[in-house]
Amino acid sequence: MLRYLFDDAPEPGEVYEVCPGVLWLRMPLPMALDHINLYLLRDEDGWWAIDTGIAIDPTEALWESVFDRHLDGLPIKAVLSTHYHPDHTGMAGWLCERFQAPFYMTQGEYFTGLAFSRTSSEHYNWSVPQYQRRMGFDEDYIQQSKERFGGFGPVIRPMPTSFRRLTDGATLCIGKTNWQVVIGRGHSPEHACLYSSALNVLLSGDQVIPRITSNISVSEAEPEANPLREWFHSLEHFLETLPDDTLVLPAHNTPFYGLHERLRFLIDHHEDHLIALEEACVEQGRTALELVPVLFKRKLDGHNLPLAVGECQAHLNYLHQRGQLSRTLENDGCYRYLSVDSTLPQRLRKRHYEADDDSPLQV
């Protein structure tokens, strides 16, 4: 059983002190997953902001209220984004500009974020419809998505034009506490977590979240990517190197104990998805789009469908690259996947992946 440190969460604009020198606050998100957790770490002459919120209307005013009421008159002296997704980087440029503060990020996240935040409709080319067709989308969908094509520029303030690079194993000394950078992959290219052995606290970003499973997705930008393999490797690495009794401060849901149980659950969850997909491809070849209901039973709307198909594609790439599914490009332009092991239906497997079926998909 996971154990949660709080029964509730701070209201927008309020803070909870999680441990000495570590404040927890929340910013709203305009989707089913309606919040992101941010953390403030106290240094001697100011605060480090860990993640920033998305650039939508209330966020700037909420930040101003935090500056006025919760920082003891000290400035934000550094901004760190765990990864490039807009709920984590949306206000980084604004914060760094307002306080003339440096921006910390890994190289992989910084340049990915810079690229996606500057992508616009003029960057649309043949590779996007080809990828969508291969997943099984029809021409109507492809045309509609062309009209929506673009990066996440509208929900992010321009990213800082310089950064300080975080690398795996590097140490940041904040206040009198050393925080070690621990890199995770799979949800994003080079996600930075921070671990303090003195506090036994992990700032886990989207790499470990207690109630929802992070989106592990392939997109048209890298159709042959294998993020699920990287995700498994990262979770195993965290299991081997971080203590079970670590207090985990995630970017969504609430702070919790039970790190190893959660890591094992996440590994099992995706392994069950892999088995289910193999089973669904025994009798006839199927497309990624046809296989989405194997992983997600609920109806998916416009925002969630690309995340769900991307996650399905991540599992298919993993199985295909391990040689467990064959992949054929057919005359209609679709990839169809077929199980290599035809004895699969005889395998009786307990599946528990339906347990968190209703949780919102992660951004």
Q: How many CA atoms lie within 13 A of 93 on its CB side?
A: 17
Q: What are phi and psi of 37, to 5 degrees?
A: -90, 135
- Tokens 């206040």 locate to 175
* Segment contacting Zn ion by CB under 5 A, of 6-14, 15-23, 79-87, 275-283: 79-87
> What is the nearest approach in angstroms of Zn ion to the Cβ of residue 48?
19
- Tokens 């046809």 locate to 290
Burial (Cβ within 10 Å: 0-12, 13-18, ≥19) of residue 241: exposed
Three-state DSSP class for 205?
strand
> What is the nearest approach in angstroms of Zn ion to the Cβ of residue 85?
4
> What is the nearest approach in angstroms of Zn ion to the Cβ of residue 83?
6
Determine contact, residues 352/343, Cβ cutoff 8 Å.
Answer: no
Query: Closer to Zn ion at the Cβ: 132 or 213?
Result: 213
- Tokens 């974020």 locate to 113
> What is the nearest approach in angstroms of Zn ion to the Cβ of residue 53?
13
Binding mask 281-310 for Zn ion (x = CB under 5 A): ------------------------------
> What is the nearest approach in angstroms of Zn ion to the Cβ of residue 184?
11
CA–CA dist 192, 195 (Å, integer): 10
Query: Closer to Zn ion at the Cβ: 49 or 277?
Result: 49
* Segment contacting Zn ion by CB under 5 A, of 50-58, 114-122, 136-144, 206-214: 206-214
Binding mask 18-57 for Zn ion (x = CB under 5 A): ----------------------------------------
> What is the nearest approach in angstroms of Zn ion to the Cβ of residue 272?
22
Report which secondary-structure segment, H or E, holds 94: helix 92-99
CA pseudo-torsion sign 126, 132, 135, 139: negative
Query: Closer to Zn ion at the Cβ: 130 or 359?
Result: 359
Query: Closer to Zn ion at the Cβ: 217 or 287?
Result: 217
- Is 191 a residue that touches Zn ion (CB under 5 A)? no
Residue type, 219: S
Tokens of 244: 């079970």
* Segment contacting Zn ion by CB under 5 A, of 77-85, 119-127, 218-226, 297-305: 77-85
- Is 206 a residue that touches Zn ion (CB under 5 A)? yes
Selected from 26, 85, 252, 336, the binder of Zn ion by CB under 5 A is 85
Contacts with Zn ion by CB under 5 A: the residue count is 2
Q: How many CA atoms lie within 13 A of 248 on its CB side?
A: 29
> What is the nearest approach in angstroms of Zn ion to the Cβ of residue 44?
31
> What is the nearest approach in angstroms of Zn ion to the Cβ of residue 146?
25
* Segment contacting Zn ion by CB under 5 A, of 83-91, 146-154, 192-200, 293-301: 83-91
CA–CA dist 315, 259 (Å, integer): 24
Query: Closer to Zn ion at the Cβ: 281 or 314?
Result: 314
* Segment contacting Zn ion by CB under 5 A, of 205-213, 260-268, 296-304, 334-342: 205-213
- Is 77 a residue that touches Zn ion (CB under 5 A)? no
Query: Closer to Zn ion at the Cβ: 54 or 172?
Result: 54
Tallying the residues shown for the chain, one arrives at 363
DSSP 121: G
CA pseudo-torsion sign 266, 106, 318, 252: positive
> What is the nearest approach in angstroms of Zn ion to the Cβ of residue 218?
15
- Tokens 């604004």 locate to 94
Query: Closer to Zn ion at the Cβ: 43 or 206?
Result: 206
CA pseudo-torsion sign 21, 189, 233, 312: positive
> What is the nearest approach in angstroms of Zn ion to the Cβ of residue 207?
9
Report which secondary-structure segment, H or E, holds 153: none
Determine contact, residues 42/175, Cβ cutoff 8 Å.
Answer: yes
Beta bridge partners of 194: 181, 203
Applying CB under 5 A, the residues found at the interface with Zn ion are: 85, 206
